[in-house]
Amino acid sequence: MPYQSPVTDIRLILSHVAGFDKVAETERFSEATPDMVDAILTEAARMCDDILAPLQRAGDTHPARLENGVVRTSPGFDAGYAAIAEGGWVGMSASPDHGGMGLPITLAMAVNDMMSGACLSLQLNPLMSQGQIEALEHHASDEIKALYLPKLISGEWCGTMNLTEPQAGSDVGALQSKAEPNGDGTYAITGQKIYISWGDNDFSENVCHLVLARLPDGVPGTKGISLFMVPKIIPNEDGTLGDHNSLRVLSLEHKMGLHGSPTAVMSYEGAKGWLVGHEHGGMAAMFTMMNNARLGVGIQGIGTAEGATQHAMAYATERKQGRAGGTGTIIEHADVRRMLATMRAQTFAARSIALSCAVAIDMATATGDPAWKARAALLTPISKAFGTDTGMEVSSLGVQVHGGMGYIEETGAAQYYRDVRVTAIYEGTNGIQAMDLVGRKLSDGGEATYQLLEEICDDAEAAKAREPELARLVWDAAESLLETTEWLVTCDTPDDRNAGAVPYLRAFALVLGAQAHLAAALADPKRRALANFYIRRLLPEHRALLAHVREGAEGLMEISPDDLAA
Amino acid sequence: MPYQSPVTDIRLILSHVAGFDKVAETERFSEATPDMVDAILTEAARMCDDILAPLQRAGDTHPARLENGVVRTSPGFDAGYAAIAEGGWVGMSASPDHGGMGLPITLAMAVNDMMSGACLSLQLNPLMSQGQIEALEHHASDEIKALYLPKLISGEWCGTMNLTEPQAGSDVGALQSKAEPNGDGTYAITGQKIYISWGDNDFSENVCHLVLARLPDGVPGTKGISLFMVPKIIPNEDGTLGDHNSLRVLSLEHKMGLHGSPTAVMSYEGAKGWLVGHEHGGMAAMFTMMNNARLGVGIQGIGTAEGATQHAMAYATERKQGRAGGTGTIIEHADVRRMLATMRAQTFAARSIALSCAVAIDMATATGDPAWKARAALLTPISKAFGTDTGMEVSSLGVQVHGGMGYIEETGAAQYYRDVRVTAIYEGTNGIQAMDLVGRKLSDGGEATYQLLEEICDDAEAAKAREPELARLVWDAAESLLETTEWLVTCDTPDDRNAGAVPYLRAFALVLGAQAHLAAALADPKRRALANFYIRRLLPEHRALLAHVREGAEGLMEISPDDLAA
């Protein structure tokens, strides 16, 4: 049973959970009519199902490799990438000024979701370009925009993000790469960068690196960092290609998964670069790039969860075993049914949150309303962390449904489990996301959160007549989350908030997921069974998580390294 | 920071949690004096730390492979195995009648724990032999015992378990392998077996396969299955080796992890076998073998959790990042501290449960008291499933603590994560364990469970004076578990019990873990911080799990395959 893009679920979420109709009603996105949305989802699904999904296993069994300094990609990835580029999927939400389709980011994320489920390692490539396009649109000079954006949007060139250095991971401010003015408006970039996803490939004409580095007068820490465009091949002003830049791939990492995506150690050796944004303004530009990428990575987790769920469903409905009634396949066992229902229900919850986040981004773009901006900012770390946690949890259940077969690589279940593991780490670990949520995102005194929780309570109130029991459970959960949020806002120390940041984020996501399931049940009677499962069986975890949060840091930091030794 | 066997934790658990003193007081195990225990733990730790732990990475990077029908093991595994065999560690708890040390199984499990943390893939080899030794001791004829046991106990020969066939996994009764009487008291065994751990090696003189097969008059299902000893090389009566038997390794599986352990597809082609136990009595013999192995596999999860925890601790106390106070390493971050505390606290809980299970087995052996037997039977599935779930959870946190480095194979964190994944699957998936718990283990009307929960309440009661808050939380949790157990016992249908079997098992384990932490805190003031963390932050999950259990099957089986499609 081959992969089928989850068009039905996405449509339901757009229409009845995430409120996409509001986006289509704005002038900015008035082209996103229901017919247009249908056409896009259908067309993208065809590409994902027919062209990308068949590449999934080759990306694992034939990893990208470095040959004489050149990256050779997995078999078929060149044709897969060409399909993505030619379909216009890289620049879907990019501005039409430089060839983009100007569509809502929500649709781009829906397509990213489908592509991730089909072939995660290849999908990571256009995701990087999308982040770069957005960063350039917001921060680059007109010259850079005119030169780079058309090529990135068409997919002729690819983009990468160069943040991390060996001694500077989550603490970006510790980076040491240098940028020296060349005197002609360009800069000489020198330094080593690690974990560069798709740092090179053999199917695009050029690879454009956005590199964080420090100018000679840059102060230590994040405030002294600037962003530079450093192309692999230096383009002429007309967009034709000139000389090779002074940069190279030193090596590719040997990773647990995602073997189709080359993760490079990059060396910049006085490479020519162009400033993007203001001097010392690199962090702002980077956050633009990362915000998009954070939601995109959450979507990667969700897409992988989708792929793993379909894979397990196919096995469970074919594998005959035991004396269970019905068809005699293992899906008739209550425990297998529980696992599959958990997979589907969590995937739906995570997808709903991420697409709601995307809708908030679009609404902020279309209306400029700070409330939408705050909503998007609030939902971004939740989408990233819960989406990727869901990817891990669901792919692990996928392995388990397969029993012994799940541990054998040829089955393919293990690949989802290995591939998705990195999504909880890159673009800011899930711990960093959670600290962002309880830190920066509550620094408004909790206003954006309270507004969202009020909406959930209102939704539950409105649902009471038709779904009294489920509505009550959702209302209670939102109230509990509200109380703990109030407690967090008044916490004295960052440690008190950070100690429970990860459980708080998960509790928040569970409540949002319950809201989504309730909405789905109201919209479609066929969704009631799954909503019931989620709200009655999975949602209760939020109480335990909130109890954890309320403990704060007291007693935690007293557990010494000695106490943690065996 | 190299691996250090967790001798301190094991000593604390033996003395203050699992009640090992009772074992040492029995006549049967009177040799297990404190001095003897100390000597054994110290000696085993030395081997694990110095000889086995250095083999861990080679088992992953240089997998066992099949060359011209012969298995070649990972570099150094031959010397590692020799150290295990020569130390007498294979036959620690085997009867002295055939060369064993006759020590409590509790000590053997403690040593297995240390070996698993040092090098899981190699440790699986003696674990298989131990299961075989126990099965032979209980079920084999005197001739077979005399011929095989001395060699297995000395480690000169290795043992395997051959249960699974392509169409017969969790449903063993579906197996098709045949045994035809040869007329001379031996049998001709024909069939194919899969997932045979350590199906062959290049360091032991012989490999002895215990194979489940059906005699010509065997009825379909589990009641028609018999057990046979089928040696790779047919021994002469004096124990010298004769002809090669008609069996071979067809292939080795390409697995997600545990690469150092060859997982074989075995072909028996009229191989000569000897009946072990009664005709058609194979399942009883298999359960003996599997019960030991189930606890042993739980211990594998715990050992892996230990290795992953130490590995992450070493990184967290060395990796400098951020502006946190103290030493400036990442362990000063509240979220990292939370992860490490979770790892250590869950590992301690799982280890306490497993060693308590081992103590119950020893007490049953020493006293014949059916209450101890029931206790051991109750704790076995919990030890297996929670031990291996803990291995997965803790090794995933270990990857997360490492950040980007965790995803790079050279770091070693990923190996724990990949290796341990199979332990939740083999020897009966964790779902099967949970169904055993809510099915067979509650079929006494819950008596053994009630008795155990009463003990927990008594312990909590007694702890009230010194730890009022923690004691109250433990008491409440045990009460909640008791109520849900009462509900389970009166369930009408197996589906109602099975639907919540997995959450029930986990809730049970969390309560047992809390009891263990409380006991540790009372015994050693230095353990209070960790006990506090566990009982206040991790234990609350039990409520959500029990809410899940109480839902039963209602609404679950109504979620149709269509509802589970995207």
Q: How confident is the model at residue A308 (pLDDT cuts 50, 70, 90)?
A: very high
Write out residues 396-415 of B within 8 Å (CB-CB) of A. Answer: 396, 399-400, 403-404, 406-410, 414
Contact A170 B321 (CB under 8 A): yes
The pLDDT of B410-428, averaged and rounded, is: 97
How far apart CA B6 and CA B36 sit, in angstroms, is 17
Domain that holds residue A499: 430-553
User: Does A163 touch chain B if contact means CB atoms closer than 8 Å?
Assistant: no
Disruptive mutation site among B338, B480, B533 for chain A (greatest number of A CBs within 10 Å): B338
Find, among B452, B463, B442, the residue nearest to B509 by Cα: B452
C-alpha distances in angstroms, A191 versus A563, B35, B130? 40, 59, 55
- The pLDDT, as a whole number, for residue A250 is 97
C-alpha distances in angstroms, B99 versus A276, B153, B401? 76, 7, 45
Q: Which residue of A has its CA nearest to B435?
A: A335
Q: Is B452 a member of any domain?
A: yes
How far apart CA B145 and CA B220 sit, in angstroms, is 29
Q: How confident is the model at residue B289 (pLDDT cuts 50, 70, 90)?
A: confident
For the cut 90, the answer to whether the pLDDT of residue A98 exceeds it is yes
The pLDDT of B37-47, averaged and rounded, is: 98
Reduce the secondary structure of A21-36 to three states and give it as a string. Answer: HHHHHCCCCCCCCHHH
The pLDDT of B184-210, averaged and rounded, is: 98
For the cut 70, the answer to whether the pLDDT of residue B16 exceeds it is yes
- The pLDDT, as a whole number, for residue A323 is 54
Contact A555 B532 (CB under 8 A): yes
Q: Is A491 a member of any domain?
A: yes
Instruction: Give the type of residue at B65.
Output: R
How far apart CA A428 and CA A382 sit, in angstroms, is 12
pLDDT in tens, A162-204: 999 988 888 888 999 999 999 999 999 999 999 999 999 999 9
The answer to whether the CB of A343 falls within 8 A of the CB of A390 is no
Write out residues 517-556 of B within 8 Å (CB-CB) of A. Answer: 526-527, 529-530, 532-533, 536-538, 540-544, 547-548, 551, 553, 555-556
Number of residues in chain A: 566
- With residues binned 3-state (H G I as helix, E B as strand, rest as coil), the percentages for chain A, rounded to 5, are 60, 15, 25
- The pLDDT, as a whole number, for residue A353 is 98
pLDDT in tens, B230-280: 999 999 999 999 999 999 999 999 999 999 999 999 999 999 999 999 999
- The pLDDT, as a whole number, for residue B286 is 84
Q: What percent of chain A has pLDDT over 70?
A: 99
Instruction: Give every CB contact of residue B207 below 8 A, 6+ residues apart in sequence.
Output: B157, B158, B159, B160, B198, B199, B200, B201, B231, B232
What are B51's two structure tokens? Answer: 């000889």
pLDDT in tens, A347-405: 999 999 999 999 999 999 999 999 999 999 999 999 999 999 999 999 999 999 999 99
On chain B, the residues whose CB falls within 8 A of the CB of A434 are 335
What are B350's two structure tokens? Answer: 């799982």
Q: What percent of chain B has pLDDT over 90?
A: 94
Contact A544 B547 (CB under 8 A): no
How many structural domains does chain B have? 1
Find, among B394, B160, B116, the residue nearest to B268 by Cα: B160
How far apart CA A395 and CA A412 sit, in angstroms, is 11
How far apart CA B10 and CA A418 sit, in angstroms, is 32
Instruction: Give every CB contact of residue B264 below 8 A, 6+ residues apart in sequence.
Output: B71, B196, B198, B199, B200, B249, B250, B251, B252, B253
- Enumerate long-range contacts of A321-328, CB under 8 Å, 24 or more apart: A321/B167, A321/B169, A321/B170, A321/B171, A321/B174, A322/B170, A322/B171, A323/B171
How far apart CA A303 and CA A475 sit, in angstroms, is 29
Reduce the secondary structure of A63-127 to three states and give it as a string. Answer: CCEEECCEEECCCCHHHHHHHHHHCCCCCCCCCHHHCCCCCCHHHHHHHHHHHHHHCHHHHHHHH
| The CA-based dihedral angle spanning residues B296, B142, B283, B380, taken in that order and rounded to the nearest 10 degrees | -30
Q: What is the DSSP letter of A162?
A: E
On chain B, the residues whose CB falls within 8 A of the CB of A563 are 344, 526-527, 529-530
For the cut 70, the answer to whether the pLDDT of residue A329 exceeds it is yes
Q: Is A290 a member of any domain?
A: no
Q: Is A518 a member of any domain?
A: yes
How far apart CA A299 and CA A356 sit, in angstroms, is 12
Q: What is the DSSP string of A252-310?
A: E--BSS-TTS-EEEEEEEEEEEEEESSTT-HHHHHHHHHHHHHHHHHHHHHHHHHHHHH
Q: Which residue of A has its CA nearest to B305?
A: A566
Q: Is B332 a catalytic residue?
A: no
Q: Collapse the DSSP code of A417 into the 3-class scheme (helix H, G, I; strand E, B; otherwise coil) and give the result.
A: helix
List of E strands, B417-512? none
For the cut 90, the answer to whether the pLDDT of residue B334 exceeds it is yes
Instruction: Give every CB contact of residue A469 below 8 A, 6+ residues apart in sequence.
Output: none
Contact B434 A335 (CB under 8 A): yes
- The CATH number of residue B498's host domain is 1.20.120
How far apart CA A535 and CA A541 sit, in angstroms, is 10
Q: Is B84 a member of any domain?
A: no
Specify the residue for token string 């009845």. Answer: A16
C-alpha distances in angstroms, A128 versus A65, A83, A197, A224? 19, 17, 8, 24
For the cut 80, the answer to whether the pLDDT of residue A254 exceeds it is yes
Find, among B521, B532, B540, the residue nearest to B463 by Cα: B521
- The pLDDT, as a whole number, for residue A327 is 61
List of E strands, A317-418? none
Q: Which among B336, B429, B556 has CB closest to A533?
A: B556
The pLDDT of B390-404, averaged and rounded, is: 98
For the cut 90, the answer to whether the pLDDT of residue B167 exceeds it is no
Rounded to the nearest integer, the mean pLDDT of chain A is 96
Find, among A287, A289, A356, A344, the residue nearest to A110 by Cα: A356
How far apart CA B147 and CA B92 sit, in angstroms, is 19
- Enumerate long-range contacts of B242-246, CB under 8 Å, 24 or more apart: B245/B271, B245/B272, B246/B270, B246/B271, B246/B272
Q: Which among B336, B407, B425 has CB closest to A422?
A: B407
Rounded to the nearest integer, the mean pLDDT of chain B is 96
On chain B, the residues whose CB falls within 8 A of the CB of A400 are 424-425, 429-431
The CB density around residue A142, as the number of other CB atoms within 10 Å, is 7
The answer to whether the CB of A524 falls within 8 A of the CB of A15 is no
What are A4's two structure tokens? Answer: 């089928």
Instruction: Give every CB contact of residue A241 below 8 A, 6+ residues apart in sequence.
Output: A205, A206, A233, A234, A235
Contact A396 B392 (CB under 8 A): yes
Q: How far is B141 from chain A (nearest CA, A)?
A: 32
Q: Is A195 a member of any domain?
A: no
Contact A543 B538 (CB under 8 A): no
The answer to whether the CB of B368 falls within 8 A of the CB of B279 is no
Q: How confident is the model at residue A551 (pLDDT cuts 50, 70, 90)?
A: very high
Q: How far is B230 from chain A (nearest CA, A)?
A: 24
Catalytic residue among B134, B165, B427, B467: B427
The pLDDT of B39-47, averaged and rounded, is: 98
For the cut 90, the answer to whether the pLDDT of residue A292 exceeds it is no
Q: Is B553 a member of any domain?
A: yes
User: Does B124 touch chain A if contact means CB atoms closer than 8 Å?
Assistant: no
- The pLDDT, as a whole number, for residue A324 is 44
- The pLDDT, as a whole number, for residue B322 is 62
The pLDDT of A417-431, averaged and rounded, is: 97
Q: Is A458 a member of any domain?
A: yes
Give this prediction's pTM.
0.97
Q: How confident is the model at residue A563 (pLDDT cuts 50, 70, 90)?
A: very high
Disruptive mutation site among A329, A402, A537, A543 for chain B (greatest number of B CBs within 10 Å): A537
For the cut 60, the answer to whether the pLDDT of residue A326 exceeds it is no
How far apart CA B522 and CA B526 sit, in angstroms, is 10
Q: Collapse the DSSP code of B70 into the 3-class scheme (helix H, G, I; strand E, B; otherwise coil) and give the result.
A: strand
Please provide residue A248's backbone torsions phi and psi, each rounded to the nearest 5 degrees.
Answer: -155, 160
The pLDDT of A280-288, averaged and rounded, is: 89
User: Does A322 touch chain B if contact means CB atoms closer than 8 Å?
Assistant: yes
How far apart CA B517 and CA B523 sit, in angstroms, is 10
- The pLDDT, as a whole number, for residue B325 is 44
Catalytic residue among A306, A332, A427, A467: A427
Write out residues 331-370 of A within 8 Å (CB-CB) of B. Answer: 331, 333-341, 343-344, 347
Q: Which residue of A has its CA nearest to B347?
A: A566
Type and span of the H or E element at A320: none
Is the four-CA dihedral B144, B149, B152, B155 of positive or negative sign? negative
pLDDT in tens, A426-457: 999 999 999 999 999 999 999 999 999 999 99
